[in-house]
Amino acid sequence: MQIRTKIAIQFTIIIASILIIFSLAIYYTSENFRKQEFYKRLNDRAIQTAKLLKTLKITEKDKKKLRDANKTILTKLNAEKVLMFNEKDELVYASYEADSILFNPEFLTKVRKRKNVETSDWENQVIGTMYEDEEGKSYVVIASASDTYGKEKLQNILNTLIISFVIGISLTVFLGIIFAGQSLKPIAEINKEITNITAYNLKQKLNTGNNKDEIAHLALNFNQMLERLERSFELQKSFVSNASHELRTPLAAIKSEIQIALENNRSTDEYKVILRSLLTDNQRLIQLTNGLLQLAKSENKDNSLILKSTRVDELLFKAQEEVLSQNNNYKIMIDFDDIPDDDGWVSTNGNEALLLTVFTNLLENACKYSPKHEAEAKIRFNEKHCIVAVKDNGIGIPQSELSKIFEPFYRTQNASTYRGYGIGLSVCRRIIDMHQGKIEVTSEEGKGSTFEVTLPHL
Ligand code: ADP
């Protein structure tokens, strides 16, 4: 079911319920009021008749006159009957003539007991009341009649209520559909605009309308999501072109070196020089493809990441060993800020091979980008985390480039003379993200940098 129809139905149900409640309240109050008013009129009529009968000391013969007077002087009520009984329950007056007048003696007893009794059946309302004459004799007067006028009025009210209800509901359905359509129009428009957005026109944005209501917020959020998508598409594109560029450079170098080597006959020593240069280019290629492979692995969310309790300090020592084995002129110091009481505080639930890649990269960078090739790593911990800080006194990173160094292939201006491809740190960040940790950097150009890896400990 469309939201528009749903809203219209809900709107109608609410209004219908309110209308029904109000109509019932109006109807029952009117009915109650009518009944009470008519009982009062019957009571007056009973007392008036009794007064006339007693104060005028009407004899048996004059009762007919009273009956006529009742009919002419007083406003006649529909199907009106007045009966008057003395203390012995003998009928002393009846406002109508009949062969036999039937009455319920129990009703008389009830009236004597309660002084005033009101009752009604489908057609008539009956009232029984006590009257005391000047001599102190008490009488039961019973008056009954049908409130045709009142009932007609009530029927009128009921008809008006029913007509108002039908008109009200029809209007509500009509207005509900229009109102819901109006409110949902911006969503329909957004839908239309979204259909036109594809991977090739992510620059296109949705209209954010008044910039204030919920729908404007939805469009705003959607636009922000499009911007993020656009950025990641661009990153992807630049990654592919950067990667192919980086691979092409050493391949082109290898090709021209081979071509030059083949142009003339050369001595063994000359061939050796060429082969060494080819080997260096080949190593660069291997390094680059390894880096790309690592990046691809870390990007792949499905890779079955085997996590187990891993000691961070041990990994750091392993990384130190690895870096030093390949660069014997590098110096790496590892130190604890505090000795942990509990091994769990320096252990994390992690993937050994991936975390080793992170620490190797950081230690290698620290040494590589320092003229003295020295790095210092410190381990500390708090209630929740184990933190590894890798510090160097090297070339540092310009402030404006700090946020970019974790992007794939990004290399700072001042690092252009150092070998590298700008892949390592993006791999590190991805791996640390996978471990629910964070990697941060503080640096001052010309003075050095500190990379901090924070991992949740056991
Ligand atoms: P690579 O070192 O291979 O270029 P990385 O991804 O490891 O790639 O580093 C990205 C860039 O960040 C480096 O090119 C360099 O500009 C900068 N960088 C990383 N570590 C340091 C450091 N310790 N000191 C100064 N600059 C650094």
Which are the contacts of 142, defined by CB distance < 8 A and separation ≥ 6?
Answer: 46, 81, 82, 83, 84, 85, 103, 107, 108, 111, 126, 127, 128
- Report domain extents, the chain: 3-153, 214-299, 308-456
Show pLDDT as tens, one digit a residue, over the chain (458 residues): 788 888 889 989 999 999 999 999 999 999 999 999 999 999 998 998 888 877 666 666 677 776 776 666 555 667 788 899 988 888 888 887 766 777 788 899 999 999 999 998 878 899 999 998 888 888 999 999 999 889 999 999 999 999 999 999 999 999 988 988 888 888 888 888 889 888 788 888 888 887 788 888 888 999 999 998 888 888 777 777 777 877 887 888 899 999 988 998 889 999 999 999 899 888 878 877 887 777 777 666 555 567 889 999 999 999 999 899 889 999 999 998 878 788 889 999 988 888 988 999 999 999 999 999 999 999 999 889 999 999 999 999 999 999 999 988 889 999 999 988 888 898 899 889 889 999 999 999 999 999 999 999 98
Would the CA dihedral through 85, 89, 92, 96 be positive or negative?
A: positive
The fourth-level CATH superfamily of domain 3-153 is PAS domain (3.30.450.20)
Query: Kind and range of the H or E element at 334?
Result: strand 331-336
Q: Which 3 state secondary structure label does DSSP give 72?
A: helix
Q: Residue 89: what are its φ and ψ, rounded to 5°?
A: 60, 30
Mutate to test the pocket of ligand 1, among 405, 431, 449 (most ligand atoms within 8 A of CB): 405
pTM greater than 0.75 (yes/no): no
In this structure, which amino acid lies at residue 318?
A: K
Fold of 308-456: Heat Shock Protein 90 (3.30.565)
214-299 CATH: 1.10.287.130
80, two tokens:
């009106």
DSSP 347-378: EEEE-HHHHHHHHHHHHHHHHHTSTT-EEEEE
Mutate to test the pocket of ligand 1, among 397, 431, 441 (most ligand atoms within 8 A of CB): 397
Edge-to-edge strand ranges of the sheet holding 448-456: 331-336, 374-381, 385-392, 448-456, 438-444
Pocket of ligand 1 (CB under 6 A): 361, 365-366, 369, 392, 394-397, 405, 410-412, 415, 420-426, 449
Would the CA dihedral through 45, 50, 53, 56 be positive or negative?
A: negative
Mutate to test the pocket of ligand 1, among 295, 411, 413 (most ligand atoms within 8 A of CB): 411
Query: Kind and range of the H or E element at 318?
Result: helix 312-326
| β pairing state of 448-456 and 331-336 | unpaired
411 Cα nearest atom in ligand 1? 14
In this structure, which amino acid lies at residue 450?
A: T
395 Cα nearest atom in ligand 1? 25
CA 385 to centroid of ligand 1, rounded, Å: 25
Which residue owns the Cα nearest ligand 1 atom 21? 365
Which residue owns the Cα nearest ligand 1 atom 23? 366
Question: End-to-end distance of the chain based on CA atoms, in angstroms?
Answer: 51
